[in-house]
Amino acid sequence: MFSQTDEDAPVLHVEDYEFAIRIRGLVNRFGDTLVHDGLDLDVKRGEILGIVGGSGTGKSVMMRSIIGLQTPEAGEIEVFGSTLDTISDEREGRELRRRWGVMFQGGALFSTLTVAENIQVPIREYYPRMDNKFMDEIAAYKVAMVGLPADAAPKFPAELSGGMVKRAGLARALALDPALLFLDEPTAGLDPIGAAKFDRLIRELADTMRLTVFLITHDLDSLYATCDRVAVLAEKKVIAIGTIDELLATEHEWIQDYFNGPRGRAAANGNQTATPHGAKTV
């Protein structure tokens, strides 16, 4: 539900909604390739939902459809009760977009901008009149929030390690204090220790900021460490959604192979023996 502020700008009250995202009958096609065929999905507000599926099954296309970068052939997508393409008030569409943050697959930062300037890109877009000093304070705060040292703020992406670039990408996605965070393969390319640290960071931020997280990942350790539920994309649809235990109870061959294959079993064992600090017991 939107309400008006004194300046007449609409404000979205996300806490009014049980679901952050509802998708019904989504169809996406590129030429002869049918990617989604009647896909349904509900993402509960406040959960971390993992999205898994083979490469090319349409995980990124689904995310792009939700945030309005891909126009589906058919279907309905609601984010916090609103459908982007039917919002009649342009300022309400803008307010809805302001409430989500996105870290795209590959997580590219603008290479000619410093970390701080990258974080400020979405802020400048939504608050063009904000003064530079305040903008720098927000960037410094976001840098600290994602666990980067303060001296990372004036650096260019090429001067950072891969893990630091991921954190900077996350800081940019969090720039506008979103209610909904989209992460497309955020730990890809990180070493296992770096990936585990990143997983813990996401879990902590989600808990403290009451975020809903749409987390696309191939990383089984991430699923066990961070997700409340997991949705499985196969056969052009979400074929199952639930906790990992619930998914393990299904008969589906792809799900069984995925979670009960050698890598799945290793991730499950790692999770069971993890201490609260994330260190593995021997």
The site for ligand ATP (CB under 6 A) is made up of 30, 33, 35, 53, 55-61, 105
56 binds, among Mg ion, ligand ATP, none (CB under 5 to 8 A by kind): ligand ATP
d(CA 269, CA 24): 36
Q: Which is nearer to ligand ATP, 45 or 166 (CB)?
A: 166
How near is the Cβ of 31 to ligand ATP at its closest, in Å?
7
55 binds, among Mg ion, ligand ATP, none (CB under 5 to 8 A by kind): ligand ATP
Q: Which is nearer to ligand ATP, 33 or 132 (CB)?
A: 33
164 binds, among Mg ion, ligand ATP, none (CB under 5 to 8 A by kind): none
Nearest to 199, CA basis, from 159, 162, 238, 226: 226
How near is the Cβ of 241 to ligand ATP at its closest, in Å?
16
Q: Which is nearer to ligand ATP, 10 or 58 (CB)?
A: 58
Q: Which is nearer to Mg ion, 51 or 174 (CB)?
A: 51
139 binds, among ligand ATP, Mg ion, none (CB under 5 to 8 A by kind): none
How near is the Cβ of 190 to Mg ion at its closest, in Å?
16
97 binds, among Mg ion, ligand ATP, none (CB under 5 to 8 A by kind): none
Three-state helix/strand/coil letters over the chain = CEEECCCCCEEECHHHCCEEEEEEEEEEEECCEEEEEEEEEEEECCCEEEEECCCCCCHHHHHHHHCCCCCCCEEEEEECCECHHHCCCHHHHHHHHHCEEEECCCCCCCCCCCHHHHHHHHHHHHCCCCCHHHHHHHHHHHHHHCCCCHHHCCCCHHHCCHHHHHHHHHHHHCCCCCCEEEEECCCCCCCHHHHHHHHHHHHHHHHHHCCEEEEECCCHHHHHHHCCEEEEEECCEEEEEECHHHHHCCCCHHHHHHHHCHHHHHHHHHHHCECCCCCECC
Q: Which is nearer to ligand ATP, 144 or 188 (CB)?
A: 188
118 binds, among Mg ion, ligand ATP, none (CB under 5 to 8 A by kind): none
According to DSSP, the residues that pair with 213 across neighbouring strands are 48, 181
How near is the Cβ of 20 to ligand ATP at its closest, in Å?
20
Binding residues (CB under 5 A) for Mg ion: these are: 60, 105
How near is the Cβ of 90 to Mg ion at its closest, in Å?
30
How near is the Cβ of 265 to ligand ATP at its closest, in Å?
22
Q: Which is nearer to Mg ion, 60 or 65 (CB)?
A: 60
